[in-house]
Amino acid sequence: MPVTELNHYFVRANDLERTKNFYCDVLGFEVMRRPDFPFPGYWLGVNGKIQVHMGPAGVPNQELYYLGTTPKSATDNSGVVDHIAFLASDHEAMAKRLDEKGVARRNRYFPEFKLYQMFLKDPDGLVIELNFFGVEEAPQWGGENYAEMPRVGEVERA
């Protein structure tokens, strides 16, 4: 039985309300009905599908609830995960929204795939990638062009 799609990822938030507000106010997620887990938190989603599950860092018995992180885990950035990516629409509206909210971003464009990307950080330092497909050319506010980046030597593929 193959994996079919990403169901959600879990964020252990240093400030649960601040992190929830970032995902809702900045990225447009909505709070969804969540089962009565033995710890506080939120399920956040889009179009009726859960994308992000979050709970607070530092709760009693967290080793029972959080299987991927420990009390010794970093409290910022994302450990071994480099970033989490979402498909998004209307890159111009999103850029305006991020600017209005004061959220810094790094923009990239991949002309070969007509793919425009925005990279930003959530309140705990997790890098969020927003992918906008079908963008014919980089917006006037630009961004790094993948086609112009230095290349790493070829990797042997199996």
The answer as to whether 73 is a domain residue is no
| Cα angle 12-13-14, degrees, rounded to a multiple of 5 | 125
The pTM of this model reads 0.81
Is residue 56 domain-shared with residue 89, that is, in the same domain? no
CATH number for position 15: 3.10.180.10
| Cα angle 14-86-132, degrees, rounded to a multiple of 5 | 135
Count helices and strands (H / E) in the chain.
Answer: 3, 9
Is residue 63 domain-shared with residue 85, that is, in the same domain? no
The answer as to whether 157 is a domain residue is no
Cα–Cα distances in Å, from 136 out to 61, 92, 98? 50, 13, 21
- Max intra-chain CA distance, the chain: 50
pLDDT digits (tens, 9 = 90+) for 105-153: 999 998 888 889 999 999 988 999 999 999 988 888 888 887 787 777 6
pLDDT digits (tens, 9 = 90+) for 45-74: 999 999 999 998 888 888 878 877 777 777
State which residues form the domain around 86: 81-148
How many structural domains does the chain have? 2
The answer as to whether 47 is a domain residue is yes
Average pLDDT, the chain: 87
The pLDDT value given to residue 2: 74
Looking at the DSSP assignment, which residues form a beta bridge with residue 30?
Answer: 45
